[in-house]
Amino acid sequence: MASAAFEDIADTFEFLDDWEDRYRHVIEIGKAMPPLEDALKVPATKVEGCASQVWLVPTIEAGKFDFRGDSDAMIVKGLIAILHALYAGEPVGSVPKIDAEGELARLGLNDHLSSQRSNGLRAMVERIRVTARNAG
């Protein structure tokens, strides 16, 4: 089962029938994330494979995985917030085992994102998994 934060997002998505409302919700949760300082928006933190500019800065404390992220696109910042809800606070060794594709499919994102956005989302998930594997 996913984290409580991710389950809250899934419940909200279930409640919202219209995809326009779901997109607005994704943007709203993205706006709620603190912005990343410009000093952290460097090539080492940039995620390649995204149409938008995306930066992820992972941290591991007491064996728990977390990250901060940002994007120049509001919808993508919302996708980062969804991934944060899925992964933040998980034991670093569990992160690569999380079925991100399955969890995100519950939200119906695969059917409603452009192919470029879907590719970018996969690139973010892969960056998170590789970072956790290398740290574990």
The values of phi and psi at residue 51, to 5°, are -65, -35
Tokens matching residue 16? 């919202």
Tokens matching residue 18? 């219209």
DSSP sequence for 92-113: TTTGGGS-HHHHHHHHTHHHHS
Query: Buried b vs exposed e over 16-43: b needs ≥16 C-beta within 10 Å?
Result: eeeeeebbebbbebbeebeebeeeebee
Active-site residues, by number, are 50
State the Cα–Cα distance between residues 46 and 95, nearest whole angstrom: 20
